[in-house]
A and B are shown apart, each in its own frame.
Chain A
Amino acid sequence: MIDALLHYPFMQNAFAAGILAAIACGIIGTYVVVKRMVFISGGISHASFGGIGIGYYLTQYISWMTPVYGALIFTLFSALGMGTFIRRTHLSEDTAIGIMWAVGMAIGIIFIGLTPGYTPDLTGYLFGSILTVSKANLIMMGVLDAIIIVTVIMLYKEFLAISFDQDFGTALGLPTQRLYLILLCLIALTVVLLIRVVGIILIIALLTIPSATARQHTHDLKKMMLLSIAFGIIAVLGGLWLSYELDMASGATIILLSAAIFAASTIYTRLRHRKHDDIEEKAQ
């Protein structure tokens, strides 16, 4: 693996992509977990497949278009659409998300079918293909990371306020609905960042597992972000190494490794608490 990393540019790109993805996941995944937006994040990530399909279809007409650019534009719009739709409709939130989730995927399938010629390898988008990340992909991922970091630094207090107590935020006169939509857009950007790394179907895992693990170890939102970036990097790079050594699918290996880390962390936390309780009992 170290050899491969030194000699093969595709391995170096995969490494860089893993780190860039873990940064976005750690920051945005923290909000997804504490604000309980897991289901809408699942909806946004699956709907991104519609953008992949449209982007692929449009490559025949627009020279700069790629499936990933299609996904970027379409996912931002579907995040805004979902955020608005679930407030305006009489449907319950999970029903509305379920509908848009499926519609997004259906649009993707239709447009890919409409595109003449050879059908592309879809499994790369659905299940990830971190080993095929290009320099251009890396630049886009870096830009998206920068947008996410700058936005979160600027709106940290406001995001914290609406995550903890949305009603109070409204009473303060904060534009809670607009802030929520901005947060959904950041989720959309993170989704696009992650498509190459673990694939559409597994994105939700990287948006939740590292942050859920981090939450077991801190009560501070900033520390939770940093810790979940660390857990994300360990999972992505470790999973990449394991998949290389054992010749397994990289996306799935990354997810299973992060779940294993979560399980180990849960057991560790439980044992520590029990020990703590024992000490307190003895002290009494």
Chain B
Amino acid sequence: MTNMAEEVVKLNNAWVQYDGTTVLENINLSIRRDDFLGLIGPNGGGKTTLLKLILGLIAPSRGEVTILGEPPDKGRKYVGYVPQYSLFDRDFPINVMEVVLTGRLSHAKPFHRYRKADREAAAEALRAVDMLDFKDRQIGMLSGGQQQRVFVARALVGEPKLLLLDEPMSNVDAPMQGEFYELLERLKQRMPIVLVSHDISAVSVYVDKIACLNRKLYYHESKELTPEDLEAAYQCPIQMIAHGVPHRVLKEHTHE
């Protein structure tokens, strides 16, 4: 029996359809309190749609999504979100502290002003990602990896019960990626993390569980996916994607 209280996010037979096209088909997914889940899948497979579903930005056409037992528009405040790196304007006149403070707006009533508690929470979040020393720096002056840390701080400042990261490595230089994963490793002690990536090999080294999404979700609440799962999801022979994948992703199976 699974303990219901442990489920931070639950998707129950959730479908998403646009103009008659099925983007997500019958998704059943439970994210539990100490999960560190890697979500992989081909481009256009619905990974970002799944995140939007959890954030309540789109409604399921069928089925149900709950966050800590509440519907997404109410439960959204428990979710810290790090969006896919967008080409924001590097010259934008905003400093690191101000970027992080925008993460407090999810709790704010209209017209409220930032208070001491907001600034302290922002400083705390920046400390958690080792970026407090840069708080007065204009955001564009930072490296890609540092910017990504600031965006994690912006997600943390709302005191989330779940962290969603959409392709967080796309703008991080290779040498800095290890450090970034170490940060996630630390954050995992505090909350479940869902990490979306198209890069199976990088993700699989760090996460505890892997799910594969291409319209349907292939997930066994473990770090193992069968070659059949991957073949079904990627719709191509397994050799093409298994290349370079650490063996522990794939379930060991005996050759005939």
Interface residues of chain A, those whose CB is within 8 Å of chain B, are 34, 36, 154-155, 157-158, 160-161, 163-165, 167-174, 215, 218-221, 224
Contact = CB atoms under 8 A, between A and B. Distances in A.
Contacts of A169: 102, 105
A164 B140 CA distance: 12
Interface string B70-88: 0001001100010100101
A86 B98 CA distance: 30
Q: Could you say which of A34, A36, A168, A174 has the most chain B C-beta atoms within 10 Å of its C-beta? A: A168
B238 interface: no
B86 A164 contact: no
Contact of B57 (A165, A170, A215, A224): A170
Nearest to B103: A172
A167 B92 contact: no
A215 B91 contact: yes
A165 B154 CA distance: 12
20 contacts: A34-B89, A154-B110, A157-B102, A160-B94, A160-B102, A161-B105, A164-B92, A164-B94, A164-B102, A165-B102, A167-B83, A168-B83, A171-B81, A172-B76, A173-B56, A173-B76, A174-B105, A215-B93, A219-B94, A220-B93
Contact of B105 (A36, A172, A220, A224): A172
B94 A173 contact: no
A220 B95 contact: yes
A264 B96 CA distance: 30
Contacts of A215: 91, 93
Interface residues on B, range: 20 to 34
A157 B100 CA distance: 12
B135 to A, nearest CB: 13
Interface of B: 55-57, 73, 76-77, 81, 83, 86, 88-89, 91-95, 98-99, 101-103, 105-106, 108, 110-111, 113-114, 138, 154, 158
A219 B114 CA distance: 20
Given A157-B114, A160-B98, A172-B105, A165 B88 contact: yes
Contact of B93 (A161, A174, A219): A219
Contacts of A155: 110-111
Given A164-B102, A219-B93, 5 more contacts: A157-B101, A157-B113, A171-B57, A172-B158, A173-B56
Contacts of B94: 160, 164, 219, 221
A174 B110 CA distance: 9
Nearest to A166: B86
A154 B92 CA distance: 21
A40 to B, nearest CB: 17
Nearest to A175: B110
B86 A224 contact: no
Contact of B92 (A34, A171, A173, A218): A34
Contacts of B57: 170-171
A59 B142 CA distance: 57
Nearest to A162: B102
Contact of B81 (A36, A157, A168, A224): A168
Nearest to A214: B93
B106 to A, nearest CB: 4
A176 to B, nearest CB: 11
Contacts of A154: 110-111
